[in-house]
């Protein structure tokens, strides 16, 4: 049988692992002393094992370790020095800090920033637009308390909430904080970095006038929706020019009352924009501290927020975190960070390929061919090449046989 034109000397999984520079892993190990007193199952072994778990969609320690036993002879390209037993992987997930994996994720984000970046949004308004939102991951033990009452029978369902910031021009998690699912979203607004060149976009679940004041005093822009029952005073209604989108029906400066920590109240000036969406037949009310840009651009900025919802959907569909390999907080965070690393690596692959692919199709292909020796980028650019070669060979054979007949 002829060798495939897509044959490559390294497995698909090996090619994905090669995107993680060894120097980054070594830096993380040194910073957090992650391999101190460890004889066999090093940090790199754990990263490879957990990425195999995520990309292979394994549901238990038994599945991960059992499947990896069949990889003998296929690991030399990514230097897996030890295939773990269940107890070894379980102990590593419990004892080796999740901060190691967080550090590696942010290192990869910095390394491949040029691959993700799309400067069109930043060029349009000359500021970095960042989207802030959260998603809840359910847990079936009360490791981190969840919202709601405890049921009369059975175990309570715990949960962890991932608060995420993405750059609108990168569409990849940039900053992540974990809290128990019962934590109110608006508490995390205080963690946002103040920067005059940044605009944060978030939904009305983060409603907090004190946080809005902090952002305004730090000359940091924000766009969100105003709650239906919000109390405010109109200061000035602004005329809407003809060139503004006809959906903008009101643009005004308002004033709200901010309650400080000591109970005293201060006044904060904001801008309120009312927009009628003729497609959805809905009225939207936005609030912002951006006074110098067009009202319809404020509406457009908020619509960009949908990108983070698509990101959460992408993560939950392609790397479903329904089964965790450990019942402790550290192990759970390691598994989440590894899912984010896998998402980042496959996004890098998708961005490097000129041919358009759905992200889910790339994930499915990699899962099915994880240890096949196929040149990943070469295949994704021209997946029909082998079939075209076979058809051409058959046509030549038919033409040759026809020539012999005559």
The predicted model gives 31-42 an average pLDDT of: 91
Helix (H, G, I), strand (E, B) or coil at 81: coil
Indicate the range of 163-167, 184-188, 337-341 predicted with least confidence.
Answer: 184-188
Distance from chain centroid for Cα 328: 23
State the chain's mean pLDDT as an integer.
85
Rounded to 5°, the CA angle 102-103-107 comes to 120
C-alpha 230/C-alpha 197 separation (Å) is: 28
Nearest CA to 287 out of 302, 266, 267, 303 is that of 302
**402: buried, middle or exposed (CB in 10 Å: 19+, 13-18, 0-12)?**
exposed
Give the tokens for residue 385: 């090449």
Confidence (pTM): 0.82
Provide, rounded to the nearest whole percent, the portion of the chain with pLDDT above 90.
53
Interatomic CA distance for residues 255 and 234, integer angstroms: 6
Give me the residue label for tokens 């096949």.
372
**Nearest CA-CA partner of 296 in 238, 256, 345, 370:** 238
The span from the CA of 77 to the CA of 59, in Å, is: 26
Here the tokens at position 228 are 């239906």
pLDDT confidence tier of residue 183, bands split at 50, 70 and 90: confident
Q: What pLDDT digit, counting tens, does each position of 245-302 carry?
A: 999 999 999 999 998 878 889 999 999 999 999 888 899 999 999 999 999 999 999 9
75-114: pLDDT as tens digits: 777 778 888 899 999 999 999 999 999 999 999 999 998 8
Cα angle value 350/351/357 (rounded, 5°) = 40
């Amino acid at each position: 049988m002829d060798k495939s034109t897509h044959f490559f000397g390294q497995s698909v999984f090996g090619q994905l692992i090669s995107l993680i520079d060894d120097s980054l892993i070594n830096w993380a190990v040194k910073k957090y002393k992650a391999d101190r007193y460890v004889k066999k199952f090093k940090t790199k072994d754990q990263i490879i094992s957990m990425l195999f778990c995520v990309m292979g969609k394994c549901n238990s320690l038994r599945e991960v370790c059992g499947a990896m036993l069949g990889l003998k002879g296929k690991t030399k390209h990514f230097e897996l020095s030890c295939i773990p037993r269940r107890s070894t992987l379980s102990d590593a997930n419990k004892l080796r800090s999740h901060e190691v994996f967080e550090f590696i994720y942010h290192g990869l984000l910095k390394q491949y920033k040029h691959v993700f970046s799309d400067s069109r949004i930043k060029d349009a308004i000359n500021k970095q637009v960042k989207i802030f939102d959260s998603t809840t991951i359910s847990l079936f033990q009360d490791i981190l308390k969840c919202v709601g009452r405890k049921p009369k029978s059975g175990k309570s369902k715990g949960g962890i909430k991932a608060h995420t910031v993405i750059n609108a021009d990168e569409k990849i998690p940039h900053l992540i904080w974990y809290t128990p699912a019962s934590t109110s979203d608006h508490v995390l607004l205080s963690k946002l970095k103040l920067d005059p060149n940044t605009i944060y976009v978030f939904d009305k679940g983060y409603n907090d006038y004190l946080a809005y004041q902090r952002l305004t005093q730090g000359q940091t822009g924000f766009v969100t929706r105003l709650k239906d029952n919000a109390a405010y005073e109109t200061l000035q209604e602004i005329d809407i020019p003809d060139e503004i989108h006809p959906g903008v029906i009101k643009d005004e400066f308002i004033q709200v009352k901010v309650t400080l920590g000591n109970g005293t109240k201060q006044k904060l000036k904001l801008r309120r924009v009312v927009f009628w969406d003729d497609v959805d037949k809905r009225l939207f009310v936005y609030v912002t501290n951006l006074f110098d840009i067009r009202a319809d651009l404020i509406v457009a900025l908020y619509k960009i927020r949908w990108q983070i919802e698509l990101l959460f959907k992408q993560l939950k569909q392609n790397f479903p975190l329904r089964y965790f390999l450990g019942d402790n907080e550290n192990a759970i965070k390691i598994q989440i960070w590894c899912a984010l690393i896998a998402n980042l690596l496959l996004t890098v692959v998708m961005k490097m390929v000129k041919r358009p692919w759905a992200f889910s199709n790339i994930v499915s292909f990699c899962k099915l061919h994880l240890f096949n020796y196929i040149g990943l980028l070469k295949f994704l650019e021209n997946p029909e090449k082998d079939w075209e070669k076979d058809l051409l060979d058959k046509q030549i054979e038919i033409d040759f046989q026809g020539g012999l007949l005559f």
